[in-house]
Amino acid sequence: MRKELQVASQPAFQRAQFELAAHIRNPQTNPAPKGIEDRRLEIYRSLFFNNIEAFIANGFPILKSITDTERWTSMIRDFVHRHQSHSPYFLDIGAEFLHYLESERIAQPRDPVFLLQLAHYEWVELALDVSVIDFPEVRQQGDILENQPVVSPLAWVMSYHYPVHLIGPDFQPTEASTDTTQIIVYRDRQMQVGFMEINQITQRLLQILDQNRLTGMAALLQLADELEYSNPDAILEFGANLLTQLRSKDIICGLY
């Protein structure tokens, strides 16, 4: 009621602007302003919806591919009607849509159980793709065991209850996994975004390196000690190969 009174007290041109905006955002519940030809309104309705839908479809292609057209359209309509965006930039639409899914959307009976986690995984890929973060100034040459490996700020370790990197039209799990899925989503120096499924040991090694300035050897020996592993030579050989693999993907982006 208070909002209606505020709108009613505004100048006529502002009321007309609010009416037009409300109609464009959700024409199904908000009538068109009087005196405007519907053919002209359809141009605005189509441009607005199609632009928003295209950005979301490009940012969440897997989610769109497993959602039928009617439900997808309804979800985007509800997003533009319900959500109040806090950024004017098109690149931030993905984050705004994720916030809508997590906090504002009313869950529907046909929603897949993994919807939020799949959407988050796809948003991470998008966020890394457009991130302005750069690699630190580090050396590219040197022994990875004798020097200090640097974990890239563009390598994000994520944990999910569903194998989100495998979901698509031909695979849609109906319940959470007993074990979490750990994934590194990363951007390399060629500006390509990729992912790598890892185990908890690799995740812990990256934590050790990220939290401490240790040589590769020292980090692996700390890991062996934490795991109470009795054969440090074996873990050093395995760890050297693993760190080299991570380095080839720019997950380890260099050395101190």
Query: Which pairs with CB-CB distance under 8 Å and at least 24 residues apart come from 50-58?
Result: 52/76, 52/79, 52/80, 52/93, 55/90, 55/93, 55/94, 56/93, 56/94, 56/97
Q: Report all structural domains of the chain as residue ranges with CATH numbers, in order of start.
A: 2-111 (no CATH), 149-255 (3.90.930.50)
Q: What is the pLDDT along the chain (256 residues), one digit of tens a residue?
A: 444 445 556 666 667 677 666 666 777 776 666 767 767 777 777 787 888 899 999 999 999 999 999 999 999 989 988 788 887 777 889 999 999 999 999 989 899 999 999 999 999 999 999 999 999 999 999 999 999 999 999 999 999 999 999 999 999 999 998 889 999 999 999 999 999 999 999 999 999 999 988 999 999 999 998 988 888 788 888 899 999 999 999 999 999 9
3-class secondary structure per residue, the chain = CHHHHHHHCCCHHHHHHHHHHHHHHCCCCCCCCCCCCHHHHHHHHHHHHHHHHHHHHHHCHHHHHCCCHHHHHHHHHHHHHHCCCCCCCHHHHHHHHHHHHHHCCCCCCCCCCCHHHHHHHHHHHHHHHHCCCCCCCCECCCCCCCCCEEECCCEEEEEECCCHHHCECCECCCCCCCCCEEEEEEECCCCCEEEEEECHHHHHHHHHHHHCCCCHHHHHHHHHHHCCCCCHHHHHHHHHHHHHHHHHCCCEEEEC
Tens digit of each residue's pLDDT (9 = 90 or more) over 204-241: 999 999 998 899 999 999 999 898 888 878 888 889 99
